[in-house]
Chain A
């Protein structure tokens, strides 16, 4: 059974159908990359999986349980699925360490003392031990994004969603963030990424999905999709994206 399964997911904003019947399976420990032009529905799909957007129709199974059921309490689901955003969205009035400890304290009711060692280990592991006590505006973009990843990991999520997390970064800072993703993959984290980093998707993904107009047009292992795309739309997109 797949860790995460989407069946016929539909999301509309008014008359605009952003996700138009999406099926997707993500196996435990897999890294799945969603590619496609801006507005194709990648970000919205991730937000639907985390229940930040209520889906109109379809099912989303996490470990076989439908989490898209209307009326289900979303907090329990979100605590199991971490999400990292393009614009970092760190809480500016808290230090990096406080950012990472807020949710485990509030949601899991753990004490600061009980938590601090574990979270400090995360900062050490991702090379930010000397930045823990800084506020977000004292950190570079790459550091902020790595703190945002640590903040999500501190909840010990089972699945991580990454929404174009390198798009707001200066090119020389992209690498340090992508390295973190590779570390997570090695540790067996289940991940879904919306990304414009084609080189990274090709190198690291287990599966790549090409989205257009709210539909997954083509999916497959990166070699197949990048080297021998079957659909004209995919070819056209890759032609533009890789030029």
Chain B
């Protein structure tokens, strides 16, 4: 190496360029090896033929995909009305748990009990108990609809988690912000509304995005109590075609939605880390 080459590069830059080249070669080689192993060895397994026919059947996928997409609209619909309700209820529970006035003590107890119960029970159990239990009271149409009670089960469960995230957001606002606001003569309630909450909510946006993604997937649990959403629809097609490919189709549709959303949440999270440092 002559010192005259790579005009304008500092010693450090030359070193880093070299290191980058090295990393690239190692990454490329290891990727090629892993992919080659998958492509060569998996099809060599004795059951591959059968698996390919029943899970990755192009014909079945083409036939069922549009109808799966249709069914996914049901998921989107349930998601669309549950998410805002979860945001509101979650925030109310978080505030109830932080209530300081003695008159609101019952509210605090209720908030604590609520989060304990709904975080402690598997989602599917809550969906069953509420989705079958409440219409079992003999409610008239349309009040016995599993869409209503299934959504309610999701709303209750997710509100418990979302409330805890809001609470951590409230705790993340530095005490000195409260001091400054109080020193100006604001009441506790005004401090919460004008100073703490706006910052708290902004701090937890990335975490709440992850809850939204989880909710989008868990909407499928309502299939167990009736609504024909994408998972249920895929099940119907599985029976009709005697083939599992519709499930793979459903998974693909979920991924089309969740991968960009996850990436976006990661981006927000990384951005927040940068802003804080």
Contacts and interface: CB of A to CB of B under 8 A. Distances in A.
Interface of A: 47, 50, 52, 74-76, 78-79, 81-83, 85, 87, 89-93, 102-103, 106-107, 148, 151-152, 155
A152 B184 contact: yes
Interface in B178-193: 179-187, 190
B186 to A, nearest CB: 6
Nearest to A102: B194
Interface in B27-61: none
Nearest to B181: A91
Given A102-B194, A106-B194, A89 B186 contact: no
Contacts of A91: 177, 180-181, 194-195, 199
Nearest to A154: B184
A107 B185 contact: yes
B184 A151 contact: yes
Contacts of B19: none
Given A89-B177, A91-B195, A52 B185 contact: no
29 contacts: A52-B182, A75-B185, A75-B187, A76-B185, A78-B183, A79-B184, A81-B183, A82-B183, A82-B184, A83-B180, A83-B183, A85-B180, A89-B176, A89-B180, A90-B180, A91-B177, A91-B180, A91-B181, A91-B199, A93-B198, A93-B199, A102-B184, A102-B194, A103-B181, A103-B185, A106-B186, A107-B185, A107-B186, A155-B184
A152 B182 CA distance: 11
Contacts of A75: 185-187
Contacts of A148: 180
Contacts of A52: 179, 182-183
B156 to A, nearest CB: 31
A85 B187 CA distance: 19
Nearest to A106: B190
B118 to A, nearest CB: 31
Contact of A103 (B186, B198, B202): B186
Count chain A CB atoms within 10 A of each CB in B182, B185, B187, B198 and give the residue with the most: B185
Interface in B153-197: 176-177, 179-187, 190, 194-195
Nearest to B179: A52
A83 B176 CA distance: 12
A152 B186 CA distance: 12
Given A91-B195, A92-B199, A155 B179 contact: no
